[in-house]
Structures are given as structure tokens and as C-alpha cells.
Amino acid sequence: MTEVKMTVNGKAASGNVEGRTLLVQFLREDMGLTGTHVGCDTSQCGACVVHVNGEAVKSCTMLAVEAQGAEVSTIEGQAAPDGTLNTIQQAFQDHHGLQCGFCTPGMVMSAAALLKDNPKPTESDVRHYLDGNICRCTGYHNIVKAIMAASGQDVSAIAGE
Amino acid sequence: MYNFDVEMPSTIADAVTALARDEAQPLSGGQTLIPTLKARLAAPSVLVSLHGIAEMKGVSAQDGTVTIGGATTHATVAGEVADAYPALASLAGRIGDPAVRNRGTIGGSVANNDPSACYPAGVLASNGTVVTNTREIAADDYFLGMFETALEEGEIVTAVKFKIPEAAHYEKHLQPASRFPLVAVFVAKFADGVRVAVTGASENGVFRWTEAETALSADFSVEAVAGLKADGSSMISDLHGSGAYRAHLVGVMTKRAVAAINA
């Protein structure tokens, strides 16, 4: 077992992990942060996307020990402490960007990474960026619409359900 | 996954030492290796992470050559090589998806030599050189077959060098489920000739389509390759496409790449 220490959503986090412990296992099972989901476990679906040192990664395809000393952000750190949703989360609610909600944590974290690098993406930019995030309910239209709205752009012309 | 130890060296020398341990294997971005371990297709007792080795990260361009550290991510290459070698940056920026590109590395891709990976086509078409902790290997001598390279046990890809062509383009036809190329072609036009590398098609991994190279070196036009047919007899046949279909795609992707360069 190896002791890992990292910062998760601004708070110090530590634990003893095996070499094979995935970052997502550490977050869910050791930290109790079950908002990060495991969908496919084969790095296809993106439900497990978190930020490590500001970059979106699939936490099912990274070892916990590789996050030694890193700053990790998860879906639990997105809303304000009083529960007020952040801009992206609120846009998902306003534009019906989720149905069952399983993919939503990864979608929100990917959207946050996109908007950090590209604050005014085109619809095509958003669709391309979501290449690694699979949703089986919405057909993506309202997710794209929500992300465009979160970027402060007029979405009235974008098709939605 | 079976359990393993993880070593986190900070220098190439320490990584080489760690790799001398019994059943040790290097871990770069892990975007292929970790799924492989989950499927229990590999069972190393020690993984030596190359992620913390600063001397293996970064990009530099001078004298017509781009040098990329082995532990450099696809995302970094997509961003930092865009001016020096845009076709290579475009290749890197279309591997997998954004989260995969933030972890996956050029060294990992080149060391693994997946028959459908993107980077091997870029390295081979660019007449590149694979730099290891012990030597430099020309791309033509490096890629030996499906998942096979000239790397010896314990040898690490520390950098990859690319000769910058006059013009180049990477054209890929996606296999929509895996997001790997079903077939992709990298065409690089140099002053002394054209190189055409094909990935995703052959059972022997990445290869140079020499007939197309000869034709394009004489006449760099779509018409020059329009009548050529790649040999499909040793191409991958699976549920996504037959060998004959892949051979056809080799021609189509080559023509599209040439058209894009000439546009």
C-alpha cells in the first residue's frame, strides 16, 4: 500500500491505496465522492471525467498514485457551498440537458474544461469536444444547447427537444 | 486488474534502473495499458510511471526537425506543434477524445505500435527517428509489425524526432465505436520525394505504400494515384471491414490527403 495525498475540491485528501487502485475508486470509495460515475470502465463513456491539475481526464483510466500531489476537481466541487448550482449546472437544468443523469457529472466536467480553453465555442466545437462523453438518453441536443447557453451565447436557434 | 507496484522515477536513469526489476513494464499515459491491465491481458508486477520525468516532456523545433519528448501528451503536441508542423498537430489533436489526449503520450503510442494507432503513420511518413535511452532508431527500422517494434526489453522511448516536410496531411476514416482509424493515411511531401504511410489497414501494422510514393514523387496530383490499387491480401479483415474494403480505403484516403495538400 502507498500513501497518496492530493487536494480534492480544495481540501486536503489522503489515503492508503494499492498500485492498481484507480483514481475513480479512490474518489468514490475512499473519499465517498460518488458523484463521479463509472459507466463503461473502458475509457469510452466519460462518466468518470474529473479535472487533474486543471485538465479533464478519465479517472477510470488513471491510477490513484499518479495523482500524488495533484489538484483534483470533481462534480461535488462545482456548486457553491450553499448548494447554488454553477453556471454550467444551472444551464443543464434550464435546458433539460439530462434525463437519467448518469452521464451528467462527466458532461459537466468536460463542459467546464471546454469553456476554460474556449469560452465561446461554436456548436460544432461543443459536439467535437464531447467525443468522449456518451449519453444514452438525450440525443445530445439539449446537452449541446446547455453548454452553449452556459457560455453566454444565444441558443434560441439551436434545435432542441 | 491484478495488483502491481508502481514506481515513480523523476529521471530517465532512475526509470531504466526501475525497469530492471523482475516483470517490470513502463507506464506512460496509460490510455492503452490500463484498459489492457483491466482485461488481464498483461500482468506486470511493477509499473514504472514515466509521467514525472521532466526531461521526457516538451516540444522543440529547429533546423527542419521537430523533437517531442516521449512523455509529451497528445494535447500538448496538438497545441505546441501547430506552427512548426501543422499536419502533425492535427494528427495529435484527433487522437481519441479530449480527456484521452490529456493523458496519452507519443512515446506510449510509438512503443505500443497498435496497428490502428495514428502516431506510427506520422512518424513513418515524416521519416522520423525514435530516440531511446540507448540509441536512435530510424522509423523505417523501428516499426516491425503488429504491436512489434525494435525496442529491446527495458528500453524507453525518450523522444521522437520528425523531419518537417514541405507539406503534409493526415486523412483518417474513423471506426466510429473505437475512434481509432479504420484506415488512415499520412502523406508527407519532401523536396526529395513523397512518403505515404498507412495505418489501420495491414496485419503487419503501419507500412509505407511505395507505389503511391513513386507516383506522387513524379507527379504530386490526385490523378497520379487514381489508378493505383493497394494490395488487400494481407490487410485486416474483421466485422468493421474486409481486407478488400480497407485496401480501397487506402486509395481513397491517399487521394483525399493529396487533394487537401494541393487545395
Alpha-helical regions (H) of chain A: 23-25, 87-94, 104-117, 123-129, 141-150
**pLDDT for B177:** 82
- Considering only CB atoms, A20 lies closest to which of B1, B98, B102, namely B1
**pLDDT for B178:** 83
Q: What is the pLDDT of residues A59-106, one digit of tens each?
A: 999 999 999 999 999 999 999 999 999 999 999 999 999 999 999 999
Q: What is the pLDDT of residues B240-262, one digit of tens each?
A: 999 999 999 999 999 999 999 99
Q: What is the pLDDT of residues B24-38, one digit of tens each?
A: 999 999 999 999 999
Q: Which helix (H) or strand (E) covers residue A22, if one does?
A: none
Q: Which helix (H) or strand (E) covers residue B149, if one does?
A: strand B148-149
Closest-CA residue to B246 (of B166, B181, B171): B181
Would an 8 Å CB–CB cutoff place A74 in contact with chain B?
no
CATH 3.10.20.30 in chain A, residues? 2-75
Q: Rounded to whole angstroms, how far apart are CA atoms B91 and B131? A: 20
**Confidence tier at A161 by pLDDT (50, 70, 90):** low
**Looking at domain A2-75, which of 3.10.20.30, 3.40.50.720, 3.40.50.150, 3.40.1280.10 is its CATH number?**
3.10.20.30
Tell the burial category of B54 from Cβ atoms under 10 Å away from its Cβ (0-12, 13-18, 19+): exposed
Closest chain B CA to residue A52: B102
CATH 1.10.150.120 in chain A, residues? 87-150
Closest-CA residue to B9 (of B31, B26, B32): B26
Ordered structural domains, chain B, with CATH? 5-49 (3.30.43.10), 54-163 (3.30.465.10), 167-262 (3.30.390.50)
Our measurement of the distance from residue A103's CA atom to the centroid of its chain's CA atoms, rounded to an integer in Å, reads 9
- The arrangement of secondary structure in A87-150, i.e. its CATH architecture, is Orthogonal Bundle (1.10)
Percent of chain B at pLDDT exceeding 70:
100
Q: What is the ipTM of this complex?
A: 0.96
**pLDDT for A160:** 60
Q: Rounded to whole angstroms, how far apart are CA atoms B202 and B222? A: 23
Say whether B203 sits in a helix, a strand or coil. Answer: coil
- Considering only CB atoms, A58 lies closest to which of B4, B47, B99, namely B99
Partners of residue B100 in chain A, C-beta under 8 Å: 43, 58, 61, 132
- State the residue for C-alpha cell 479483415: B237
- Considering only CB atoms, A66 lies closest to which of B31, B51, B102, namely B51
Partners of residue A57 in chain B, C-beta under 8 Å: 99, 102-103
Average pLDDT along chain A: 96
What phi and psi values does residue B65 have, to the nearest 5 degrees?
-130, 135
Percent of chain A at pLDDT exceeding 70:
98
Q: Provide CB contacts within 8 A for A157, sequence distance 6+.
A: none
**pLDDT surpasses 80 at B239:** yes
Percent of chain A at pLDDT exceeding 90:
93
Task: Give the residue-averaged pLDDT of B104-111.
Answer: 98
**pLDDT surpasses 90 at B179:** no
Task: Give the residue-averaged pLDDT of B232-238.
Answer: 93
Q: Rounded to whole angstroms, how far apart are CA atoms B221 and B15? A: 47
Average pLDDT along chain B: 97
Q: Rounded to whole angstroms, how far apart are CA atoms B15 and A27? A: 28
Task: Give the residue-averaged pLDDT of B59-63.
Answer: 96
- What dihedral do alpha carbons B200, B206, B209, B213 form, nearest 10°? 120
**pLDDT surpasses 60 at B131:** yes
Query: Distance of CA A142 to CAs A124, A150, A161, B252, Å?
Result: 14, 12, 7, 35
Q: What is the pLDDT of residues A123-146, one digit of tens each?
A: 999 999 999 999 999 999 999 999
**pLDDT surpasses 80 at B138:** yes
Q: Provide CB contacts within 8 A for B6, sequence distance 6+.
A: A2, A19, A63, A65, A66, B27, B46, B47, B48, B49
Partners of residue A68 in chain B, C-beta under 8 Å: 8
Q: Rounded to whole angstroms, how far apart are CA atoms B242 and B225? A: 22
- State the residue for C-alpha cell 522515477: B9
Q: What is the pLDDT of residues B8-58, one digit of tens each?
A: 999 999 999 999 999 999 999 999 999 999 999 999 999 999 999 999 999
**pLDDT for B155:** 96
Q: Do A56 and B98 touch (CB under 8 A)?
A: yes
